[in-house]
């Protein structure tokens, strides 16, 4: 039998197509993912926005990066659930009995997460534009923003893979996503960290969401991102690498 490594990308495309069909057949998952971030954006802009001092004239511009991260944080829960479902139904065993590269089973879910969360982000952008969001960023700045969001999505998705592979019940499989989805609240996503108590401020300024938000905010305003962009990339890549290694070790023990 020929080495399955030769057909890695072919196998991965098949697994990716299978996973994407689940998304296409149930687009309500993307709608569900978008509801909470859009509701939060509407609430903060039209209810709390006038009472929050951010030093900017347009609060939706200030809020927008954190809302995108929140949408991605909400969306990764479905990756864990779909993996858990495959595991419980014995789908892994069926695939492992075939001459395919086994890691492609996971990569199919990961790439699907990248696409589905990308669609959710585009929906958030359209809603933000309707609410008055405007950006002076050029094509390169937008590409940099999407690049950071892509790495952020991959990092969280591999964490979701760990949850999906290790969860014992369907009720607990998505529980890990809640603190991730709400981590932007304890950052500079909604309000500047200057007004926070010292302990909270110390945490907010040294957690990954703040660096990512500040980097995206600077790129969208066509300003210098200073060190934030490199810190944001370092956080995302670091989390992704560690989560990937742990996920693959767990998966290899299963197979």
Query: Which pLDDT score is estimated for 3?
Result: 46
For residue 112, give every residue at least 6 positions away whose Cβ sits within 8 Å of its Cβ, in sequence order, or none. 16, 19, 20, 22, 23, 79
pLDDT of res. 152: 95
DSSP string, 42-80: HHIIIIIGGG---S-S-HHHHHHHHHHHHHHHHHTHHHH
From the list 26, 58, 36, 27, the residue with the least C-alpha distance to 180 is 36
195: tokens are 């007004």
Domain edges within the chain: 4-254
What is the pLDDT at residue 2?
41
> What string of pLDDT tens digits covers the 255 residues of the chain?
344 556 777 878 888 888 888 777 776 677 777 888 888 888 888 887 666 766 677 888 999 999 999 989 888 888 888 888 888 888 777 777 777 777 888 898 899 999 989 988 999 999 999 998 998 888 999 999 999 999 999 999 999 999 988 888 877 787 777 788 778 888 988 888 888 899 999 999 999 999 999 999 999 987 765 688 899 999 999 999 999 999 999 988 876
Q: How far is CA 137 from CA 59, 116, 199, 246, in A?
A: 17, 24, 34, 37
């Amino acid at each position: 039998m020929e080495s399955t490594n030769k057909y890695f990308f072919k196998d991965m495309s098949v697994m990716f197509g299978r996973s994407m069909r689940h998304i296409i057949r149930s687009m309500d998952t993307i709608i569900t993912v978008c509801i909470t971030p859009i509701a939060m954006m509407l609430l903060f802009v039209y209810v709390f926005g006038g009472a929050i001092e951010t030093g900017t004239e347009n609060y939706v511009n200030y809020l927008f990066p954190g809302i995108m991260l929140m949408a991605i944080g909400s969306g990764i829960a479905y990756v864990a659930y779909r993996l858990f479902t495959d595991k419980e139904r014995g789908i892994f065993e069926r695939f492992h009995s075939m001459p395919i590269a086994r890691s492609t089973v996971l990569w199919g879910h990961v790439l699907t997460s990248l696409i589905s969360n990308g669609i959710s982000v585009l929906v958030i952008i359209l809603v933000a534009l309707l609410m008055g969001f405007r950006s002076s960023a050029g094509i390169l700045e937008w590409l940099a923003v999407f690049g950071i969001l892509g790495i952020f999505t991959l990092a969280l998705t591999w964490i979701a893979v760990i949850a999906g592979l290790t969860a014992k019940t369907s009720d607990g499989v998505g529980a890990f996503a809640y603190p991730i989805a709400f981590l932007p609240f304890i950052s500079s996503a909604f309000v500047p960290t200057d007004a926070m108590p010292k302990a909270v401020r110390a945490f907010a300024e040294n957690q990954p969401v703040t660096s990512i938000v500040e980097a995206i905010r600077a790129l969208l305003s066509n300003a210098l991102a200073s060190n934030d962009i490199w810190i944001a990339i370092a956080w995302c890549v670091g989390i992704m690498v560690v989560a990937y290694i742990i996920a693959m070790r767990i998966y290899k023990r299963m197979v």
